[in-house]
Amino acid sequence: MERWGGMVDVAKDEIPVISPVPSTPGLLVMGGFTFGLTQGLGAGELMADLVAGDVPKINAKNFELARITVG
């Protein structure tokens, strides 16, 4: 018999969160990935844009923390 134990870090809508935290200026979060290796490069580039204060190359709204914390 095989067993596995662990924790799965997945957002409830299965879309990762890559976002500033509005209530804490300067804090950015990135997590909730379902397929880390396939999303890694784009996610890293989006987070780098957010950290640098650059305009993201993709629509960052789809990954905002507010989508899972409001309502």
- Confidence band (pLDDT; 50, 70, 90) for 39? confident
Contact 18, 46 (CB under 8 A): yes
The structure tokens 């709204």 sit at: 61
pLDDT of residue 28 exceeding 70, the answer is yes
Specify whether the CB–CB gap between 22 and 66 falls below 8 A: yes
pLDDT band at 10 (very low <50, low <70, confident <90, very high): confident
Q: Over pLDDT 70: what percentage of the chain? A: 90
Q: What is the pLDDT of residue 27?
A: 96
**How far, in whole angstroms, is CA 52 from its chain's centroid?**
16
